[in-house]
Structure 1
Amino acid sequence: MFQRRKARSASEQIRSVVWPDRGFGRLLSYIIQRVRRMPGSPTSIAVGAAWGVAVSFSPFIGLHLFAGLALSYLTRGNMLACLFGTFVGNPWTFPLFFYLDYALGTFLLQLFGSTISLAGVSFAEFIPLFMAEPVALTGEVLKQLIVGAVVLGCIAWFASFGVVFWAVSGWRKHRSARLAAARDRRRNPPLNANTTVDDKGVVAQRSGPDFGESDR
């Protein structure tokens, strides 16, 4: 019933994964709406989403989802929120995340006198190497990537937790206030010319004008 009239080819399906049909703005708006309306406490949702974002900085791309779900389970985070959080790591952000891991890890290891390889690679040099041989480059600078990923992952966790907790809590407070206002309007409808209130405070709506007194 809801299938496409024309099935998409394999190349179109791959392209939609790399670049959504309606753009990243529409995808981001959809994710925000889904996360805000998830069942569960704001804390559990924020914890799950934070783990999803944090593990996206790990150099072990194939383990992001499994690591995020395991950490969410251990900390009682929302699993579905973790799944949406991992969307932060995608083919467009991985090169930037990996370079940030590499740069920060290199700086920290040099600061403490540790021996490292491929120090001083710029962003313009790192990206072509990463796109050409991601596995070989990751193995060459794995120590820097792990150190940088741990630090950046912790920063991303706390930042994501705060943003998601604020967004979910604020939306639920706004929704509760809106529902309460709607209930008040139903219980206390606005008075008009055809509305009467008796001595007990009961509101009644007149069906029409009373001509009985004038006829007499």
Structure 2
Amino acid sequence: MLFRRRKIPTRVERLRVAVWPRHSWVRSTRYYGKRVLRLTATPHAIAIGFAAGAFASFTPLIGFHFLLSFALAYVVRGNLIAAALGTSVGNPLTFPLIWASTFKLGGWILRGKAPAPGHVEIHEQFQARLLTKSVDMLLPMLKPMLVGAIPLGLIVGTVSYFIVFKSVEVYQRRRRHSLARKRGLLSDDMNGDIGE
């Protein structure tokens, strides 16, 4: 293989790079931004696909974000690759903020007030159920998170739709103009060569 690494990274190295990029978060964000801009589809399809991925990243269903984003993008006729890139909204830096805000908002929607922190309560439940490993321990946390994920995911999805739509539209317009200019210059050069 031409561009394969000489030393294949181990699973631990790949996990470390997934959590903390080699160079910087700014460079990784810029890279994903360029990947979204360079997709070949309409600006609407790319933007709605990215919005579906951003919405899916707000759900507490870790491990199913890609599948959920693909299903949402398929339903709304969005670009599937943009949906996969949209799930990058949820990353190790933003997940604590996302989970805390969805839990608080979901508790407020369900109970009419924000839930108390309850660190001792959760710790006691964890110790009591450690031996049984019951799913009942997670339901009091997952239910408010799922309820809170819907409005927050819709807000972030809507905002990201407009940002991505405008960015892709401007990028594609500039690209078309530069290609037309290059074609015009090439055809002028070719006509000059033929005339001689």
Tell me how large the CA RMSD over aligned residues is: 3.2
The structure, 1 or 2, with the larger RCO (C-alpha pairs under 8 Å, 6+ apart) is 2
2:157 is equivalent to residue 157 of structure 1: yes
User: Which amino acid in 1 is paired with 2:38?
Assistant: R
Asked if structure 2 preserves the Cα contact closer than 8 Å seen for 1:138 and 1:145, the reply is no
Q: Which has the higher helix share?
A: 2
Per the alignment, residue 117 of structure 2 pairs with 121
Per the alignment, residue 132 of structure 2 pairs with none
Per the alignment, residue 89 of structure 2 pairs with 88
Q: Deviations over 1:41-92 (max 9, x none)?
A: 1111111110001110001112211111011111111001101111221222
Range moving further from structure 2, 45-54 or 59-68 = 59-68
Moved segments of 4+, more than 6 Å = none
User: Which amino acid in 2 is paired with 1:104?
Assistant: L
Q: Map of 1:51-200 to 2, 5 A cutoff? A: 51-111=52-112, 119-121=115-117, 138-186=138-186
Q: Deviations over 1:85-115 (max 9, x none)?
A: 112212222111010101112222333x8xx
Q: How many residues align?
A: 184
**CA separation in 1, counterparts of 2:64 and 2:10?**
28
Identity over aligned pairs, percent:
35
Per the alignment, residue 7 of structure 1 pairs with 8
User: Which amino acid in 1 is paired with 2:36?
Assistant: V
User: What stretches of structure 1 of length at least 5 have no aligned partner?
Assistant: 190-201, 208-216
In structure 2, the CA distance between the partners of 1:81 and 1:137, relative to structure 1 (3 Å rule), is farther
Q: Deviations over 1:144-170 (max 9, x none)?
A: 211210110111111111111011001
**CA separation in 1, counterparts of 2:41 and 2:192?**
39
Asked if structure 2 preserves the Cα contact closer than 8 Å seen for 1:59 and 1:138, the reply is no
How does the TM-score come out when normalised to structure 2?
0.79
How does the TM-score come out when normalised to structure 1?
0.73
User: What stretches of structure 2 of length at least 5 have no aligned partner?
Assistant: 128-134
**CA separation in 2, counterparts of 1:7 and 1:158?**
40
